[in-house]
């Protein structure tokens, strides 16, 4: 026991001496943790009266009509969590893997698609009994949140397939179709009509300035129907979990920025 004591003391002294060296290897923080983001803007020549489809979007989506004969797509990608400033390269690694692309299918058909990478992992689950269950690969958001602002000719027809988040559509005079899984939806109809409106939620309420003949409320969902005799515009809205708001009047900007 006596002979082992010097060796133990020497080991403790060596360990304490190495602590400053280990601390020196770690990069020092240069500021508070933050979220990083990058914004891109794309312009596509597009005449009035065409169809614009947004597929697999998620996050906050704003679609607004304007007078220009083109579509402007502004996309902001941001990290969903905070990083120290020195980790900017690591934080932005997922930005290149989450892609928003445009495809001109014809002179009056434009598709805007969001593509996510597949999540790494085995395509099956193994149970203790030896059996395995084959599962489909799942997509990954790579810790990236998206915010879209799309300006389109007012007479365009808009078709949106949204995953989750906020959807705002305003000042569009063509047909509007929006299908969202989760979130909230606001549609601003630019003039008094006539409209043919069919709105339904699986879990959530519906509020409308358009006087409908049927607003059925179920235990968790709602169904609102308004049919004009000669509808100039067809509005079909579907929300899985969330609320739908339909308003009429002059456009006033995205509702989530105005506390609507």
The reported pLDDT for the residue numbered 194 is 82
pLDDT range class, residue 22, cuts 50, 70, 90:
very low
Vertex 158: Cα angle to 37 and 239 (nearest 5): 75
Q: Largest Cα–Cα distance of the chain, in whole Å? A: 102
The reported pLDDT for the residue numbered 54 is 98
Q: CA–CA distance from 140 to each of 116, 118, 120, 124, 240 (Å)?
A: 6, 6, 9, 17, 21
- What is the mean predicted confidence (pLDDT) over 244-250? 86
Instruction: Identify the burial level of 21 via C-beta atoms within 10 angstroms of its C-beta, where 0-12 means exposed, 13-18 middle and 19 or more buried.
Output: exposed
Which pairing describes strands 144-153 and 157-170: parallel, antiparallel, or unpaired? unpaired
Q: Which secondary structure element, helix H or strand E, spans residue 162, and what is its range?
A: strand 157-170
Taking only the tens place, the pLDDT of each residue in 141-171 is: 778 999 999 999 999 999 999 999 999 999 9
- What is the mean predicted confidence (pLDDT) over 47-53? 97
Query: What is the DSSP track for 49-105?
Result: T-EEEEEEE-SEEEEEEESSSEEEEEEEEEESS-B-GGGHHHHGGGTTTSEEEEEEE
């Amino acid at each position: 026991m006596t002979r082992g004591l010097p060796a133990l003391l020497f080991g403790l002294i060596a360990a304490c001496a190495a602590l400053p060296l280990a601390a020196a290897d770690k990069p020092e923080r240069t500021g508070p943790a933050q979220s990083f983001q990058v914004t891109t803007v794309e312009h596509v020549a597009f005449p009035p009266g065409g169809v614009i489809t947004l597929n697999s979007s998620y996050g906050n989506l704003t679609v607004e009509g304007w007078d220009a004969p083109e579509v402007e797509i502004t996309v902001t990608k941001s990290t969903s969590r905070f990083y120290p400033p020195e980790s900017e390269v690591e934080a932005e690694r997922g930005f290149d893997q989450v892609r928003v692309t445009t495809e001109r299918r014809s002179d009056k058909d434009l598709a805007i698609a969001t593509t996510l990478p597949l999540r790494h992992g085995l395509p099956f689950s193994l149970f203790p009994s030896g059996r395995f269950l084959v599962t489909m690969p799942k997509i990954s958001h790579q810790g990236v949140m998206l915010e879209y602002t799309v300006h389109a000719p007012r007479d365009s027809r808009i078709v949106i397939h949204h995953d989750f988040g906020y959807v705002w559509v305003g000042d569009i005079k063509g047909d509007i179709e929006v299908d969202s899984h989760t979130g909230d939806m606001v549609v601003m109809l630019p003039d008094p009509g006539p409209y043919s409106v069919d709105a339904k939620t699986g879990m959530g309420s519906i509020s409308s300035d358009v006087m409908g003949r049927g607003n059925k409320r179920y235990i968790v969902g709602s169904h609102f129907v308004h049919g004009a005799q000669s509808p100039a515009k067809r509005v079909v809205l579907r929300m899985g979990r969330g609320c739908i708001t339909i308003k009429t009047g002059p456009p006033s900007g995205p509702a989530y920025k105005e506390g609507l």
